[in-house]
């Protein structure tokens, strides 16, 4: 049990900026097994976003509340996944071959593709969440946020399980995610990622999960074709795209 707690807190430290107990320590073994808790971290982050959204909506217009909820999740994660999405936009948008793509993604400078991509995906997320509240009502929005953050973090674990990590250097922050997950680890991640979805109506849940599956498959196929596998930035991009796909799937189910 203590070892699993160490793995969980290692994931919390790696994927967020939330504090962890001092007794956890640091080790490569912890990081190697942290990915299985990725969706569980999503439940926590989704809960933070949902809580801030619901509380601020008591005194402020819904659009402002949703924006503040999004800001809370960005603060909690340090925009970890948005940064990966931004780097992926620059890399795949500006690179012609694998070497160029990887070099651009590693560059800390922000290009036009990244600026436009992050702006559009945040705007799409805000618009989708406000429409979800209008379509389904406030309690549904909170559940959608928690489920969306959880299942969208299951999507990158599928890439870790199925694809190869393509960087061959040790300087990347995401190097611990290079270890391919075991089937049992993926199964545990799937349980954590899918559990919150069970709180949603069955028909809505199935459409949203189908949208996530499609987004994950398209992302994996694209990464495989362009660079032969994934990087840490690709995982962040997959999380962002899958989260958007989940919300849009919910809206499609309502039509």
The 3-class secondary structure across 121-147, one letter per residue, is HHHHHHHHHHHHHHHHCHHHHHHHHHH
Q: Which stretch of 21-30, 120-129, 170-179 has the lowest confidence by average pLDDT?
A: 170-179
Give me 160's structure tokens.
Answer: 């870790």
The percentage of residues in the chain with a pLDDT greater than 70, rounded to a whole number, is: 96
- Say if pTM beats, i.e. exceeds, 0.85: yes
Give me 177's structure tokens.
Answer: 């995610």
Confidence of residue 156 (pLDDT cuts 50, 70, 90): very high
The pLDDT score that the predictor gives to residue 174 is 57
Q: Is a pLDDT exceeding 60 seen at residue 172? A: no
Using one digit for the tens of pLDDT, what is the confidence trace for 219-231? 999 999 999 999 9
Which residue has better confidence, 17 or 170?
Answer: 17
């Amino acid at each position: 049990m203590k070892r699993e707690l160490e793995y969980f807190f290692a994931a919390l430290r790696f994927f967020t900026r939330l504090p962890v107990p001092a007794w956890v320590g640091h080790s490569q073994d912890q990081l190697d097994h942290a990915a299985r808790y990725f969706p569980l971290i999503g439940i926590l982050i989704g809960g933070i976003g949902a809580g801030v959204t619901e509380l601020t909506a008591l005194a402020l217009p819904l659009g402002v509340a949703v924006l503040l909820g999004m800001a809370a999740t960005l603060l909690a994660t340090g925009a970890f996944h948005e940064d990966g999405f931004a780097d992926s936009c620059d890399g795949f948008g500006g690179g012609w071959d694998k070497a160029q793509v990887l070099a651009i993604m590693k560059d800390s400078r922000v290009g036009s593709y990244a600026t436009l991509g992050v702006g559009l995906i945040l705007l799409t997320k805000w618009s989708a969440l406000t429409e979800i509240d209008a379509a389904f009502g406030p309690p549904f929005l909170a559940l959608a946020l928690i489920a969306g953050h959880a299942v969208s973090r299951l999507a990158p674990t599928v890439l870790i399980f199925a694809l190869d990590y393509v960087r061959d250097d040790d300087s990347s922050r995401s190097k611990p995610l290079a270890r391919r997950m075991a089937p049992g680890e993926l199964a545990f991640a799937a349980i954590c990622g899918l559990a919150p979805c069970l709180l949603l109506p069955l028909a809505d849940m199935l459409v949203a999960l189908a949208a996530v599956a499609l987004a994950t498959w398209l992302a994996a196929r694209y990464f495989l074709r362009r660079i032969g596998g994934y990087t840490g930035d690709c995982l962040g991009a997959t999380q962002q795209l899958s989260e958007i796909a989940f919300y849009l799937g919910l809206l499609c189910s309502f039509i």
